[in-house]
Amino acid sequence: MPVAVTYVSASGSGWSCGLLGQVVTCSRATLAVGDAPVIVLVANVTDAAILGGQVTLAAQIGASSTDPNLNNNAATRSNTTGIADLSVAYGASYGPGGNPLTLSITVTNWGPNTAAPVTALVQLPDGVSFDRLEGPGWTCTAALRREALRVIPVLAQGERLLSVQAHRRFATAADGTVTCTLPSLPPGSSTLNLILLLTNPDGGLPITIGVGSPAVDPIADDNSGTYLTVAAYGMYLPLIDR
């Protein structure tokens, strides 16, 4: 272990573990063919190492018996640390008659380190569908659940249906989750706009937003929130399954 890591414990079924200096040694009398029981190493990382942004651990195995392949007996693992205090804020705007709904999500990194990568999870309820993303640097994915036709009625004064103006296909999230990723976010803010389609005009539909990264976040209470949709009046865009 590097000097910035302080040993707490190491254990595993059938293993006997101990510490000498910064080296943790675990041994067992025999090991049958197949995977060995997992060894769990618990350690503390100093504040200086966290601020440094990365901790690297090295592991090595060996036995008294002959090993025909020594090339896979050692490995290293670097864990990205760093401190990045993330927060999320959001707002919404509506098109004519309530569609589309543009959900603006602003992720702020209050520092001191860069957060990489940053993930935003948006949980959509029934009645809200993901259409597309607008926001530089971000990518969003949503598994396909079905294809549908959006039928847009044209309403004259008095909300009398005159004709169907357009048809458009779109895909909805399989489990209601849209996952958006930004490769890195230095101290500062980044905004993504999710273009959503409402198939329920009643309002009060909860859209849950959460953000995170591998970095240590000292204040996690401001990493999530819930937006409630507003009831749509006038033109309403229904869904017709194909």
pLDDT value of residue 25: 95
pLDDT in tens, 52-96: 656 788 999 999 999 999 999 999 987 666 789 999 999 999 988
Answer whether 131's CB lies under 8 Å from 147's CB: no
The pTM of this model reads 0.61
Distance CA 162, CA 153 (A): 7
The confidence band for 112, taking pLDDT boundaries of 50, 70 and 90, is confident
Judged against a pLDDT cut of 80, whether residue 99 lies above it is answered with yes
SS3 96: helix
Which are the contacts of 124, defined by CB distance < 8 A and separation ≥ 6? Answer: 130, 172, 173, 176, 177, 178, 196, 207
Among 210, 213, 212, 190, residue whose Cα is nearest residue 136: 190
Distance CA 102, CA 207 (A): 12
Domain 84-241 has CATH 2.60.40.1510: yes
For residue 187 the two structure tokens come to 């101290």
pLDDT value of residue 118: 96
Average pLDDT over residues 147-165: 43
**Which stretches within the chain are classed as H helix?**
47-52
Least confident of 131-145, 202-216, 225-239: 225-239
Least confident of 155-159, 176-180, 221-225: 155-159
pLDDT value of residue 77: 83
Among 97, 95, 115, 99, residue whose Cα is nearest residue 107: 115
Q: Which of 57 and 242 is assigned the larger pLDDT?
A: 57
pLDDT value of residue 233: 54
HSE-CB for 45 with a 13 A CA cutoff: 17
Q: In the predicted model, what is the mean pLDDT of the chain? A: 81
H or E stretch including 21?
none
Q: Where are the domains of the chain?
A: 5-80, 84-241
Question: Could you identify the residue written with the tokens 């101990």?
Answer: 18
pLDDT value of residue 97: 79
